[in-house]
Every structure is written in C-alpha cells, then in structure tokens.
Amino acid sequence: MSIESILSEVFGYQAFRGPQRDIIEHVTAGGDALVLMPTGGGKSLCYQIPAIARQRAGLGITVVISPLIALMHDQVGALHEAGVSAAFLNSTLSSEEAYQTEQRLLRGEITLLYAAPERVTTQRFLQQLDALFERGQLSLFAIDEAHCVSQWGHDFRPEYRALTVLHERYAGVPRMALTATADALTRADIVERLQLEAAAQFVSSFDRPNIRYTIVEKKDASTQLLRFIEHEHPGEAGVVYCQSRKRVEEIAAMLAQTGIHALPYHAGLDTRVRQANQDEFLRGEGVVMVATIAFGMGIDKPDVRFVAHLDMPKNIEGYYQETGRAGRDGMAADAWMCYGLQDVVNQRRMIDESPAEEEFKQVMRGKLDALLGLAEATDCRRVRLLRYFDEASQPCGNCDNCLQPPEVWDATDAARKLLSTVYRLHQTSGVSFGAGHTMDIVRGKLTEKVAQRGHESVSTFGLGADYSEHQLRAVMRQLIAIGALQVFTSEGFSTLHLTASSRSVLRGEVPVRLRESSTQRAVKRSRARPATAPVAANLGQDAQVRFINLKSWRASVAKAHNLPAYVIFHDATLAAIAERAPQSLADLQHISGLGTRKLEAYGAAVLAVITGAAHAPSGQAA
C-alpha cells in the first residue's frame, strides 16, 4: 500500500504538508532521520505513516518514545479511531493491563507502541524487544520531543541519554528523532547524543502563517487580557501564560469571575487537579487554561485560538514554542503578548541572581535582548522571529506592525536626557539608582528621596518635564533593548548603568525612534467575530444549524469513547460536512479528515444528523 493511500484512506487527508512526503518516503525505505518542524507542522504523520506502511510490509512494530505520559491515552485513542492498532505502556496502567499489552506486542498485534523513555530502557522491556528483533519484527524507533536529550534544550530529561542502547542493541533498525526546537546548539546535541550522525536531516520552515503576532505595552495587564479575550475570542479555547504560580491562580480566578471558563495549571497543584484541568481543557469547549510554562508540551489540541503571554518569557525559543500551540488546525489564531519595563527588570534580575556561571548568564542575557528587540520592533514581527531561526522572509501582512504600522516619534532628546541623568547621578553620588528615581529627576519631581539626596541640584533635573512617565518608561525599555542601557540587580535592587553604546546615543549620533504607545492610539482593530468557532464563520445559515448539530453529536461520541472531541473529528471536518449536506455515504467521500475507518464507523450517524438538520425550523430542506 502506497504512502499516499495510507494518507487518504487511514487519515482522510488529500495531500502531504510541507516536507512530509520526503520524510515519510525516506523513513519507510529504512533510513534514519532527524525531523525539525514547528509545533503544529504535522510531525506525527511522519512516523505514523511509515509505521503503518512497514507493518503492512511485514516488518513489525514501531516503538514511539515520548515523555508525555499524560497524553498517551489520547494519542493511542486517536489512532484507534482511525483504525490503526496502537497501545501504550506507562505507569498509569495496572500490571494486568501492562501484561496484556506486552502479550499483544509479542503476538505482533500492535502497529505503534508508545512508551516513556524510562520504560523503554528497562531490562524487561529490552528483552521483549530482543524477541521481536530476532524475528525481524522490530520495524522503527520514533523518538519524539528529541530535544529532551539535550541539556541546552528547555526540557532536559536524563533518561533520554540512555536511548543510545537502541542503536547499539538493534543495529539496522531505523530510528527517527523529531522535535520542534530549532536552535543549532540543541540540534547538534541531539545528533551527537542519539548517534544520528548518518541520519538525513529534514528542517522545515518555521513559519506559522495562520498565527497573528501582537505585542502590546503593559498598562493594566489583567484588564488588557480580559478585553482581548472578550473582543477577539469570546467562547474560544486559549492558553494564558504567566510567570508565577501565584499569578496563575489570580488571573484564573479573575477570568472565572467574569464568566470565562478559565482553569489554572502549574506544577504546585495536586497531580489529580492538574490532570483534571488538562482533561477539561482538552475535552471541553472553549476552556481557557491559565498556566505557567509547566503546561503545554505535547498538547495537540488543534483548535486553540489564542496564546496570550501576560509576562514576558525568557527568550524567543520559549516564546515561539508556546505561541506555536495556537492554531494547529491551520485556521486563524492569535499570539498576544503584553509586556512592560518591569518584565525586563524581572527577567534581568532572575539571570543576575541565578547561581549559574558568568558565561552562561551572558548567553541568557543575549537571548533576552533578542526578545526585547522583538518586543520593541516597529517592523514585521514575523521577519524578526524567523530571522532568529536563520530564516529569511518578507513582511508578513499578519502581525500588528504589518497590519497597523506603528506611529514613530523621535525620542532622541528624551533618551539623551535619561542617559545623562544616569551618568550624572553616578558621578555625583558614586552609586547607581533605579528607573523610578531617574525618571523623577528627569521630570523634575521633588520626591522625598530626591530631596533627601539633594538630587534636585543634578543638572538635568526637570529638563524632561514635558515627557510623561509613560513615555520615559518606553524610552528606557528601548534603550535597554538596543543595549544603550543596562539593568543590574543585587540584593533586590535594580540599578541602571551606562554601556559602551550609551555614548553614541548621548552624543546624538544614534537616533532613537520609538513606537507611539499603542494604548494612546485609538484601537482600530475591529475584528469582532461571531461567537461561533471561526471555521464555521463562513457557513450559511442552514449549514450553521447542521454544524451545531454535528458538534453536539460529536460531543456525545467523544464522551462515550472517553476522548477529546477533536480526536473524533476536527471542527474543520464537521464544517466541511455541514457545508456539503451529504445525502449518501458517497457524498461523504474525500472530505478532509474522514478516512475509511471513520466513514464506516460514523458515516451513517453523520447522515442521520444531517437529515435531521435538513428538517430544522429554517424550513429550507436541502
């Protein structure tokens, strides 16, 4: 059976995406591979189709190694729905269940077996693999989330290091490693640690064109968030990232109070609560998960419509990984971040106060600066993001700066006044001060601290009385972003310091051009969407009715199977069915997401729902 027919018959998809075909051909033919694809790019099919093809060719089972125990049940459930024989082995199974699965494995009844790395490397499991290997029934190893092998990645798991045993013990069995982490350092580490020197590397474009990037200036973060959700994504599923557990709790409670179905998720919650909240997010409709970065790896919910960052992440890798969880279904989605001077100061402080080596801190500061540059940018965000991953591109037309080019004002004068105040303060008192005090002096505010220290006599006192504190804050952020000002923290106090590049700004050689504060501009974005899911927004009235009926039918099936609704059918598939209004099984063919097995299992039920909908009150029977 060709890989094309597996794609259409098993998964119901019409065409491969991006480099999928090349990867699948290579691995099906027995080659090793390293696959780098952005989140939502379609990595799963890259090992699932070779697994099915090789099983059908009599080559046996594929072992999928994944650290995501909490998600294996749903991953396997999704394969069952498509008619593929799959199973998982992990610590959530009773020993009886695990035994049954092992027996099925040895009888060759399983095409894909999911297991955690710590399970794979046990003697017991390796002996079972030995038996399969001797019979030529060990077909492929797929190592998912392969960046976990690297301590440079953001999810280092030492168990991954032991996976070299697969290569040594089962020579000739093809291996593929997959990850969404693009960083060159991590990539090199994966190759070395997993001994994939001879593997073909497949690196996709990291662009996610359906995601719209927006970065706004922080004023009152929770109100801004609330407005964003209410205006742009009412009733839709999303993730809100916050820095601390406490803040997660506060924001979740605040959203819940306004009637939004919001739940908290962080590592401090009881495991059962965490799992229950995750299930609710995956299975429910329109749930907003408020979380620390502990949440998200492997979450393959396709219809997450937005990812919001209420605090600034540490670096662009983290930001991109997290925002990538939006819009896996390819439909429009938002990545929205709100950030301010305090974020910059906090992130700097965390680096400065960490016990790491100075060299490591320097790398971290560089990464933070790159993110600051992105946040302060007045040109296309996507061009900058992709450039960070060494990918050249053109302005995208789908980020805040492209859609509404920011107005820019010349802040050179304000910048010079700020910098010379920092300079003079240090000169007169021999110590450095923080942002607030510096701004007070520039604006000529005679605070208690100013008076106590006699700083009203600093020669720049009051020279910037025309600027608002808000403007000066923006200038300060920009100066930090371009490296003309540095923040250092010690013992909880943050102080400002000049850098080598301050001088050229002070001399007026480097113009400082700043985006006009977005909060001062009229909010022109009127993208008020209908309350229905965006995939259904273009459907006619009758089709809307059918879509809603199909969704409620899907909810009952999902519940009965104990699986998330999207595992049964994606919204896009239901929308396509609703639009076509099929009258026979033949009409259902070639709808994306409807493979042979699902057609057999659900075709009749879907037709019954449609027929019912066709007699709905609107009276226009199709």
Where does this chain bind ligand ADP (CB under 6 A)? Answer: 13, 16-17, 20, 37, 39-45, 300, 302, 328-329
Spatial separation of the C-alpha atoms in residues 371 and 381, rounded to whole Å: 11
Q: Which does 309 bind (CB under 5 to 8 A by kind): Zn ion, ligand ADP, none?
A: none
Shortest distance (Å) from residue 325 CB to ligand ADP: 9
3-state secondary structure at position 244: coil
Closest CA to 560 of 283, 236, 261: 283
45 binds, among ligand ADP, Zn ion, none (CB under 5 to 8 A by kind): ligand ADP
Nearer to ligand ADP, 90 or 210 (CB): 210
User: Minimum CB separation from Zn ion for residue 225, in Å?
Assistant: 22
The one-character DSSP state at 124 is H
Instruction: In angstroms, give the least distance from the CB of 305 to ligand ADP.
Output: 14
Q: Which of 527-561 are b and which e, b meaning 16 or more Cβ less than 10 Å from the residue's Cβ?
A: eebeebbbbbeebeebbbbbbbbbbebbeebbeee
41 binds, among ligand ADP, Zn ion, none (CB under 5 to 8 A by kind): ligand ADP
Residue 382 site contact among ligand ADP, Zn ion, none (CB < 5 to 8 Å, cut-off depends on kind): Zn ion
Nearest to 483 by CA among 429, 406, 408, 415: 415
By C-beta, is 87 or 399 nearer to Zn ion? 399
C-alpha distances in Å from residue 182, one per residue of 21, 185, 244: 20, 9, 26
Nearer to Zn ion, 212 or 283 (CB): 212
Q: Binds 43, which of ligand ADP, Zn ion, none (CB < 5 to 8 A, cut-off by type)? A: ligand ADP
Q: Are 282 and 238 in contact (CB under 8 A)?
A: no
Q: Which does 121 bind (CB under 5 to 8 A by kind): Zn ion, ligand ADP, none?
A: none
Q: Which is nearer to ligand ADP, 44 or 195 (CB)?
A: 44
Task: Look at residue 616 and give the partner it binds from Zn ion, ligand ADP, none, a contact being a CB closer than 5 to 8 Å depending on partner kind.
Answer: none
At closest approach, how far in Å is the CB of 593 from ligand ADP?
Answer: 7
Q: How far is the CB of 36 from ligand ADP (least distance, A)?
A: 10
Q: How far is the CB of 282 from ligand ADP (least distance, A)?
A: 13
Q: How far is the CB of 15 from ligand ADP (least distance, A)?
A: 6
Residue closer to ligand ADP (CB basis): 108 or 302? 302
Q: Which one of ligand ADP, Zn ion, none is in contact with 396 (Cβ closer than 5 to 8 A by kind)?
A: Zn ion
Residue 302 binds what, of Zn ion, ligand ADP, none (CB under 5 to 8 Å, by partner type)? ligand ADP
Q: Which of 248, 57, 73 lies closest to 139, judged by CA?
A: 57
Complex with ligand ADP: residue 284 or 436, whichever CB lies closer: 284
Token pair for residue 108? 């060759």
How far apart are the C-alpha atoms of 609 and 605, rounded to whole Å? Answer: 6
Name every residue whose Cβ is closer than 8 Å to that of residue 134 and which is 6 or more positions away in sequence: none
CB of 11 to ligand ADP, least distance (A): 7
Of residues 377 and 613, the one with the C-beta less far from Zn ion: 377
Proportion of the chain in helix, strand, coil states, percent, rounded to 5: 50, 15, 40
Q: Tell me if 66 sits within 8 A of 298, measured CB to CB.
A: yes
Locate all alpha helices (DSSP H) within 404-540, ordered by sequence: 412-429, 435-443, 448-453, 469-481, 502-506
- Residue ranges in contact with Zn ion by CB under 5 A: 380, 382, 396, 399, 402
Task: Give which of Zn ion, ligand ADP, none residue 212 binds (C-beta under 5 to 8 Å, depending on kind).
Answer: none
**Residue 300 interacts with, from Zn ion, ligand ADP, none (CB under 5-8 Å by kind):** ligand ADP
> Closer CB to ligand ADP, residue 82 or residue 269?
82
- Chosen from ligand ADP, Zn ion, none, partner binding at 402 (C-beta under 5 to 8 Å by type): Zn ion
CB-nearer residue toward ligand ADP: 44 or 222: 44
Closer of 115 and 215 to ligand ADP (Cβ)? 115
Distance of CA 58 to the CA centre of its chain: 37
Residue 399 binds: one of Zn ion, ligand ADP, none (C-beta under 5 to 8 A by kind): Zn ion
What minimum distance in Å lies between the beta carbon of 383 and Zn ion?
6
Cβ proximity to ligand ADP: between 329 and 376 the closer is: 329
Q: In this structure, what token pair is assigned to residue 243? A: 């820095």
Q: Torsion over CA of 230, 231, 233 and 239, rounded to 10 degrees?
A: -60
Q: In what order do the strands lie in the sheet with 238-241?
A: 211-217, 333-339, 306-309, 238-241, 288-291, 262-265
DSSP 558-579: HHHHTS-HHHH--HHHHHHHHH
What's the min distance (Å) between Cβ of 298 and ligand ADP? 8
Which C-beta is closer to ligand ADP: that of 68 or that of 363? 68
* Shortest Å, Cβ 389 to ligand ADP: 15
Q: What's the Cα-to-Cα distance from 329 to each of 41, 376, 571, rounded to whole Å?
A: 10, 30, 9
Q: Answer for the pair 577, 557: CB distance below 8 angstroms, yes or no.
A: no
Consecutive H or E run containing 336: strand 333-339
Select the binding partner of residue 542 from Zn ion, ligand ADP, none (C-beta < 5 to 8 A, by kind): none
Question: What minimum distance in Å lies between the beta carbon of 333 and Zn ion?
Answer: 15
Question: Position of tokens 């590592």?
Answer: 267
Q: How far is the CB of 540 from ligand ADP (least distance, A)?
A: 24
- Assess contact for 82 and 597: CB atoms under 8 A: yes
Closer residue to ligand ADP in complex, CB, 190/215? 190
Query: Residue 266 or residue 382: which is nearer to Zn ion going by CB?
Result: 382
| Closest C-alpha among 36, 394, 393 to residue 191 | 36
**What minimum distance in Å lies between the beta carbon of 294 and ligand ADP?**
18
Phi-psi map region of 316: left, alpha, beta (phi>0 left; psi -120 to 50 alpha) = alpha
> How far is CA 567 from each of CA 77, 82, 171, 343, 603, rounded to the nearest angstrom?
8, 9, 35, 38, 16
Token reading at 73 = 């049940």
